Structure 1
Amino acid sequence: MTAAVRVALPGARPAQPAPSRPPPLALYVHVPWCVRKCPYCDFNSHALRGELPEAAYVDALLVDLERALPEIWGRPVETVFVGGGTPSLLSPEVVDRLLAGVRTLLPLRPYAEITLEANPGTFELGRFRAFREAGVTRLSLGIQSFDDRYLEALGRIHAGREAHAAAEAALALFDQVNLDLMYALPGQDGAALARDLAAALAHGPQHLSCYHLTLEPNTAFAAAPPALPDDDTAAAMQEQVEATLAEAGYGHYETSAYARAGQACRHNLNYWLFGDYLGIGAGAHSKLSFPDRVVRRARPRHPKDYLAWAGGGLPAEERVLDADDLRFEFMMNALRLNGGFQEGLFGERTGLAPGTLAAGLAEADRRGLVERDGPTIRPSPLGRRFLNDLLQLFLA
């Protein structure tokens, strides 16, 4: 098969590197409100003041989606992820209307994975059951810890008993459940982490996401840092998480993600393998591939601005990715996967020749940061530990 030739017509945008065929497409829906902003959180989330404008917000989401249709027309959607913020603040009736609109406007795969993020502080059994009836197939619970001491230190709105109740109900209702945990918390030691891991495993979730607490800029914790475990203790905790979950039968497939066989998050895998995604909602980001370019876009960040924008006019931001962007962003995503990627996928998803990776891979080989197994390229154990150092080798 010969490579496609791209011709720039007079007055047209010069052709940029682009995949020869569209990659898989996912939909991300952002719900920007929380009951309270957690002190460690740097996501686009806003403490709810007054009544949740859920009906107006879903109106805006569906207008946003409808206006985006010409750019993704006919492309099947593999997964939907409703994230936040706290999407479980939305009433089941509004979630049902949102997902009905998605099914009407998009060619959603028959067995699409549809994830909703939920906070145990908003848990009600009837609410979870109604989310399932609306079409949610996978629930992701922001547990963070089962210990009241650490939940209070993290500013969470739920207690340990609510975390247990939410996990138990979710696993009774949904075929796929993820539990989010955090470690290296203020005052936490290895014994306390062991108790949290044991509590999570006792529920038997299909998926666990385990995050090292980090102090992100522009957060309350960055302004007034709590006392955290030192670097050596935190590294030992990471090893403790990996060993405990491996022994329990969970595969460590991505930097912070662990799953039983066949239960990896398909939506997140699409990100790591440089698939396309349409993002709708306040501050949502998109990455879309066209025959002559790959584009990143973002919606207005603040909920009031997004509601005013309501899908009209141009996106708040747009950037066409050049060859340097594509090389780095592909590797930044794919090298999060412990199993790595097939070398041919790089050219398929970016439109670039595999040789553009040669210099970075040669240096990564020299430093022992990657492993090669035929066409498979993956981070070595050392590369996983020093992932930022590995990724810097692929910057322009």
Structure 2
Amino acid sequence: MFKLIPMSLYIHIPWCLKKCEYCDFNVYVKKNDIPEHEYIQHLLQDLEIDLKLIDNREIQTIFIGGGTPSLFQNKFIQKLIQGIKKRALLSNSIEISIEANPKKIETKNFIHYRESGINRLSLGIQTFNEKYLKVLGRAYNTEEAIDSLEIAQKVFNNVNIDIMYGLPSQSFNDALLDVHHAIHYNPSHISWYQLMIEPNTIFYAKKISVPKENMILKTCYQGDKLLKKSGYKKYEISSYSKPNYICKHNLNYWSFGDYIGIGCGAHGKITTKNGTIIRTVKNKNPYGFMQGNYTVSAHTVSRKDIIFEYFMNTFRLYNPISKKKFTEQTKICEKKIKKYIDIAIQEGYLIDTLKYWNTTKKGKKFLNSLLEIFLS
């Protein structure tokens, strides 16, 4: 069982030039010089501690997120990658992603990222519309977004762009125009998702309103049709890819794989040899983190929570859920969840076959209602 569960590594770099008004991530606005060297050293020390928990398992994907990782100088990103390679066992076909803002000043870094071993770039464009970029508080304009995308595609074979819909005062036509623009530039992967107003954001404090639900559903339906018609396969609720360009890192999350999380506020999930699942949470404060206080929480997940967490992730995917994998990854017998499965089938959310469970269209549409069954 132990070797069957894939392993990933997430690295959090928490600094940004400014905090966007919709953002609820653990980020800190850059006011002075970032302590890049010191932070990288602590990231690697944090990694060394967590590597002891995984018994030399092979890491198949790495994702450097934030914050804005591209604020770090190239030499420090290179030191980070080199340091990981010295300490961890990496797959020969490893996917290494980094997030970047589509600012002209950052595009010069792209070639250096590729040279350091990074092979996937994720650009947080969010919208091509100048008006909505200002509404969101983004620190770039439409021209920079397009230029960054075009440069990224010259350097990397694998480029993702993030696009949001349901923005404040956004019309149906404007939302669909963003989809058309995204398709026109033909990236290998598009993450297209609805803006959610989360607590602890400026939007929440301002009580910003978003388009009504019927407009959101109409946008979602039409945008989905456009993306599929243009050759993008939907493999997760908000993820579309060209053939062979599925994001392996995110797919591992949604498949209930394991991952180490290092850096400020990073979360991890590690399955031990005896099948126990441990969730780790790292210190959110960068200066507390750089004093060596890395892990603030490490708890064993209860059987009840394992069941809910498993389906909370796997129900997002647009492929059958293997009963065999459920047992292998959770160490829970299929019979233990039969009553939940039966209710979901009766409600029309699931289809049960000999080897798989499949969510129906209704199950995807009312995913929260489906998950509530597994909370009972």
Q: What TM-score do you get using the length of structure 1 for normalisation?
A: 0.92
Secondary structure of 1:245's counterpart equals helix
- Aligned-residue RMSD, C-alpha: 1.3
- In the alignment, which residue of structure 2 is the partner of 1:308? 291
| 2:278 matches 1:295 | yes
Superposition deviation, residue 131 in structure 1: 0.9
CA distance in 1, matches of 2:180, 2:336: 45
CA distance in 1, matches of 2:57, 2:232: 33
Residues 269-308 of structure 1, C-alpha deviation per residue, up to 9 Å, x if partnerless? 1111111100000011110011231100111011111111
Check conservation: 1:89, 1:122, Cα contact below 8 A. no
CA distance in 2, matches of 1:241, 1:250: 11
- In the alignment, which residue of structure 1 is the partner of 2:93? 111
Secondary structure of 2:168's counterpart equals coil
1:285 is aligned, of 264, 267, 288, to 267
CA distance in 2, matches of 1:235, 1:100: 45
Superposition deviation, residue 225 in structure 1: 2.3
- In the alignment, which residue of structure 1 is the partner of 2:349? 369
1:171 is aligned, of 138, 153, 169, to 153
Check conservation: 2:22, 2:136, Cα contact below 8 A. yes
| 2:329 matches 1:346 | no
What letter matches 2:152 in structure 1? Answer: A
- In the alignment, which residue of structure 2 is the partner of 1:387? 367
| 2:314 matches 1:334 | yes
When the two structures are aligned, how many residues end up with a matched partner? 375
2:250 is aligned, of 264, 268, 274, to 268
- In the alignment, which residue of structure 1 is the partner of 2:39? 57
What are the residue-to-residue correspondences of 1:1-396 with 2, within 5 Å? 21=3, 23-121=5-103, 123-292=105-274, 293-309=276-292, 311=294, 315-396=295-376
Secondary structure of 1:141's counterpart equals strand
Superposition deviation, residue 145 in structure 1: 0.3
CA distance in 2, matches of 1:192, 1:373: 42
Check conservation: 1:61, 1:310, Cα contact below 8 A. no
Check conservation: 2:97, 2:119, Cα contact below 8 A. yes
Give the 4+ runs in structure 1 shifted more than 2 A. Answer: 19-22, 121-126, 371-374
CA distance in 2, matches of 1:64, 1:201: 40
- In the alignment, which residue of structure 2 is the partner of 1:16? none
Check conservation: 1:186, 1:226, Cα contact below 8 A. yes
Secondary structure of 1:339's counterpart equals coil
CA distance in 1, matches of 2:90, 2:266: 20
- Unpaired runs of at least 5, structure 1: 1-18
Superposition deviation, residue 374 in structure 1: 3.7
What letter matches 2:85 in structure 1? Answer: R
Check conservation: 1:22, 1:289, Cα contact below 8 A. no
Secondary structure of 1:316's counterpart equals strand
In structure 2, relative to structure 1, the CA distance for the partners of 1:361 and 1:122 (3 Å cut) is farther
Residues 173-198 of structure 1, C-alpha deviation per residue, up to 9 Å, x if partnerless? 11111000000111111211222111
Check conservation: 1:74, 1:107, Cα contact below 8 A. yes
CA distance in 2, matches of 1:145, 1:373: 41
Superposition deviation, residue 117 in structure 1: 0.5
CA distance in 2, matches of 1:37, 1:20: 40
What letter matches 2:290 in structure 1? Answer: L
The one of the two structures with greater contact order (alpha-carbon pairs below 8 A, sep at least 6) is: 1
Secondary structure of 1:130's counterpart equals helix
What letter matches 1:83 in structure 2? Answer: G
CA distance in 2, matches of 1:70, 1:108: 15
Q: What TM-score do you get using the length of structure 2 for normalisation?
A: 0.97
CA distance in 2, matches of 1:51, 1:378: 50
Superposition deviation, residue 253 in structure 1: 0.6
Check conservation: 2:104, 2:144, Cα contact below 8 A. no
CA distance in 2, matches of 1:139, 1:182: 18
CA distance in 1, matches of 2:291, 2:4: 32
CA distance in 1, matches of 2:351, 2:145: 39
More displaced stretch, 277-286 vs 302-311? 302-311
Check conservation: 1:83, 1:117, Cα contact below 8 A. yes
Superposition deviation, residue 20 in structure 1: 5.5
Check conservation: 1:246, 1:252, Cα contact below 8 A. yes
Secondary structure of 1:124's counterpart equals helix
Superposition deviation, residue 123 in structure 1: 4.4
Superposition deviation, residue 338 in structure 1: 1.5
CA distance in 2, matches of 1:286, 1:122: 33
Check conservation: 2:237, 2:316, Cα contact below 8 A. yes
Superposition deviation, residue 21 in structure 1: 4.8
- Unpaired runs of at least 5, structure 2: none
